[in-house]
Amino acid sequence: MIKKCLFPAAGYGTRFLPATKAMPKEMLPVVNKPLIQYGVEEALDAGLTEISIVTGRGKRALEDHFDISYELENQIKGTDKEKYLVGIRKLLDECSFSYTRQTEMKGLGHAILTGRPLIGDEPFAVVLADDLCVNLEGDGVLTQMVKLYKQYRCTIVAIQEVDPQETQKYGVIAGDLIGDDLYRVRNMVEKPKPEDAPSNLAIIGRYILTPDIFKLIEETEPGKGGEIQITDALMKQAQDGCVIAYKFKGTRFDCGGAEGYIEATNFCFEHFYKTGKAY
């Protein structure tokens, strides 16, 4: 089954400058945990234990985070501060981490293609760590998607309804309803103007992709913004009926911008930190 989860994490995080000048945006803390750790925890919850991260220049802190800090361990051993490291130790014990570098920023499609040597020829999940997803009611978003993959064996993208004026921020789909909150995708457009959008169903940063996507990305010409867009490659899969869009259960915070980041911070403080579930 699916074991691998790819994290494209080479982007500059310009919307958070100057904080992201010397620090990867994926390391921005939401209360006490870096953004990417929430994503890795969601992956592990879904049974995805092989974590692959596409990094870039200036991103070494990511590798250090998912490693043991002997000095720190030694310092707090036997004290009540040990509890702060329980969560991250669990990730180190139960997951493997591998890295590759994207040397040029040519779009999300290109970032995913850069991860190909780490993934090989098997289905895999993709998490955009900027999108922090939580579901207090039950399964995490990736767990929901892995269950669907077992049933449908094709590419799955997570979607949510957005304000029709906001379509320019997202890949937007149109499809036929085939079940509860499930659409077989007919059309998808990267960041359309509201008047050109096929719907208000926007793709968020959770995907399960079948490995034929790599060849389709290779064949994809630069699209919106001159970048190689995953949405364009997915559209080719969709033409064969092989892409399902899923309106997930839970909440997604767009931590790529200040507003969503603050909302996520307040939410995590309230529901995880204050309740002692933050480690």
Closer Cβ to ligand G1P, 88 or 248, answer by number? 248
Judged by beta carbon, residue 119 or residue 230, the one nearer ligand G1P is 230
Question: Would you say 185 or 202 has its CB closer to ligand G1P?
Answer: 202
* Residue 46 exposure: Cα atoms within 13 Å on the Cβ side: 34
Record the tokens describing residue 160, joined without a space.
């949510």
Nearest approach, Cβ of residue 67 and ligand G1P (Å):
27
Of residues 184 and 252, the one with the C-beta less far from ligand G1P: 252
Please state the closest distance from residue 88 (CB atom) to ligand G1P, in A. Answer: 25
The residue with its CB nearest to ligand G1P is: 171
CB of residue 74 to ligand G1P, shortest distance in Å: 40
Going 41 to 45 to 51 to 52, the CA torsion angle's sign is negative
**What is the secondary structure of 167-220 as a DSSP string?**
GGGSEEEEEEEEETTEEEEEEEEES--GGG-S-SEEEEEEEEE-TTHHHHHHTP
Query: Residue 111 or residue 268: which is nearer to ligand G1P going by CB?
Result: 111
Tokens of 125: 């999940």
Per-residue tokens: 199: 């719907």
**CB of residue 192 to ligand G1P, shortest distance in Å:** 10
Binding site for ligand G1P (CB under 6 A): 108, 128, 131, 170-171, 190, 202-205, 229, 231
Q: Which two tokens stand for residue 56?
A: 């870039």
